[in-house]
Every structure is written in structure tokens, then in C-alpha cells.
Amino acid sequence: MIVVTLSLAELAANAPPWEPFGWLTVLLFGLGILWHWQGSIPMERLFSSLGWLSLAVLWVVMVPYFFFEARSPIQAVLVTLAIPLSVWAGVVRWRGREQLFVFSKVVTVAGLIYLTAYTIEPVRRWLIETVAAQTHWLMGLFGHSPGLAPGPDAGYLSLFAFDAHTTYIVMACTGIGSISIFAGAILSVGGSPGRRLGAMFLVSGLIYGLNLLRNVFVGLATPLGWFSFEPFISVAGVFGVEATRASFFISHTLLAQPASLIALIALLVLSVRLVPELFTLLDEIVFLLTGDEVDLRAEIGPKLLGEDPGSTTQMAD
């Protein structure tokens, strides 16, 4: 008998209704792109700036959730920092910085990928159940095959049927968020379409595979109680997490999330090596944070890409 089930779905059930803000943000940025194609830069600036403000509102709505419901320090800090950065990006675009337009494409593409997967029920079911089945198969390689059962998340076949505290897969466990961001960035910059598509599929596949390993780690650590003893129980208690959830909290929030962040940084480096045009996005991020004009490809490109010093030519297609 399943005693207690733990997963991000329990948290998602308490999450604020962010989807309308997500679609509004994508709509505003998309309209900005259409105006840009029509050659109306003032209208594009207006809608892009509004898109950034809508994105900031979305982050504001999500901050209390990450702090008090999810109890995720990393996500809470990142979302909090994203609020002023989004507002500032809207101000800078309104003032006419043309280079920021590429982020309109990034947000639109990434948003469409994520929201399509999240809001279209057949796609959502297929993705969740596929990830659950593959995670369960990998668990079997480590000697644990509890079977799959319908989970509380719409009854999808996603719950690992351990006779103990256990977990089940939801959208946040599929890696679609990170995949959509990397895909949006890679597809929105210049360069050979073939090279960009190849990089997108490679990086997306790596994210998907690493995410499965993360699911296996959390999915086994929770029912087997890998961290259900001191000092881990006390550490979890500092964040207001009861002892019965300590193993899940330690494995998922304090270990898997930082490891995922490190992995994403490594994948960013790989992506830049495959698609050097991504340096344009990094340049703009530095500008938003510092106000300084930089050319990171000229500064670190030779070492990172193996180019001749001083070369900023495009990679051969």
C-alpha cells in the first residue's frame, strides 16, 4: 500500500495560475516580431517592452510559491532576480536598443514549446507517461522495479508503486523547461539552420538523458530513505520540511537542483561551441547586468572555440 506520495505535483497544485501570464507574454513578444517583420520598429519596441513587463509580472506571481510552497532556495533566488532584470530589459528595449530584439524571438520560441507541451493534454500525458516509463526502466537497472500506478496528476501512469514514501512524475520532471529555453536560444540566433538544428537536438537529448538520471536518483532516494537520518533531517527542518519528507527534500532540492544548474552551465558552454552566434545573447545579458558593451566572442572565443586570437568570423557551415 502506498503510504505517502511526494512529488512536484503536490506543489504545483498550490502554484498560482501562471499560464495566462505565460500566454500573454508570448503573445506580446510574438506581436512585436510581426511588427518588426512589417518594418514598424516603434510598434515592435512597444510590444516587446510590454512583453518584458508581462514576464516580470509572471515572476512576481511565482516568487511566493518558490519561497514558501516549493521551498526551493535556488529557484526562488533566480526568479526574484529575474523580476528587475525583466523590467530593465523592457526599459532598455523601449529606449531603442535594437540588439535586444533577438530575445523577443527566444522568449516566443521557448514559450511556445513549453506552453504547448504543458497545456495540450494529449501531449502532456504522453510526455509524463513516457518519462515515467523510462525512469522506471532505469530504476530496474539498479535493482528496483516497483511498477507504475496512476498518479494524482490527472491519473497519468506516473507513480512509482513503492510500499513507502514515493514519488510520481509531473511536467516539471520531464526537462521540457530547460529544453525549451535552449531550443529557443539556439533557433533564434543566426548561423546555418542545419548546424543549429543539430546542436538543438544534441543538447536537448543530453538534457533529457540527464533529467532521467535525476529522476532515478530522487525516485529511489525518497522511498529508500537515503537521507532520512541526521544530520539531513535537521537540515531539512531548517527549511520547514518535516522529517518524513527529508529524503525527498535533500535529494531533490539540495542535491539534484544544484547539480542540474552545474550541468546546464556545462551544456551552455557546449552550445556556444556548437553555435558561436549564441555569444550575441551573452553579450546582451552582460549589457543588461552591467551597462557595458562587450564582445565575448573576441574576448573568450579564441580559447573556447579554438579560433585564432582576434578572429570573430562566423564558424564555417
Comparing CA positions, the residue from 125, 171, 145 lying closest to residue 223 is 145
User: Secondary structure of 42-56 in the HEC alphabet?
Assistant: HHHHHHHHHHHHHHH
| Active-site residue, from 45, 93, 124, 173 | 173
- Three-point CA angle 283, 287, 290, nearest 5°: 130
- Residue appearing with cell numbers 510581426: 34
Q: In which residue are the cell numbers 525512469 written?
A: 135
Q: How far from 59 is each of 204, 225, 314, CA to CA, in Å?
A: 25, 34, 35
For the question of residue 214 being annotated catalytic, the response is yes
How far the first Cα of the chain sits from its last, in Å, is: 57
Question: Cβ(69)–Cβ(14) under 8 Å?
Answer: yes
Q: Which one of the listed residues 45, 214, 245, 297 is annotated catalytic?
A: 214
3-state DSSP assignment of residue 168: strand
Asked if 186 and 200 touch (Cβ cutoff 8 Å), the reply is yes
- For every residue of 71-109, DSSP letters joined together read --HHHHHHHHHHHHHHHHHHHHHHTT-GGGHHHHHHHHH
Q: Does the annotation mark 273 as catalytic?
A: no
Q: From residue 57, how far is each of 75, 255, 286 by CA, in Å?
A: 16, 29, 22
Active site residues: 173, 214
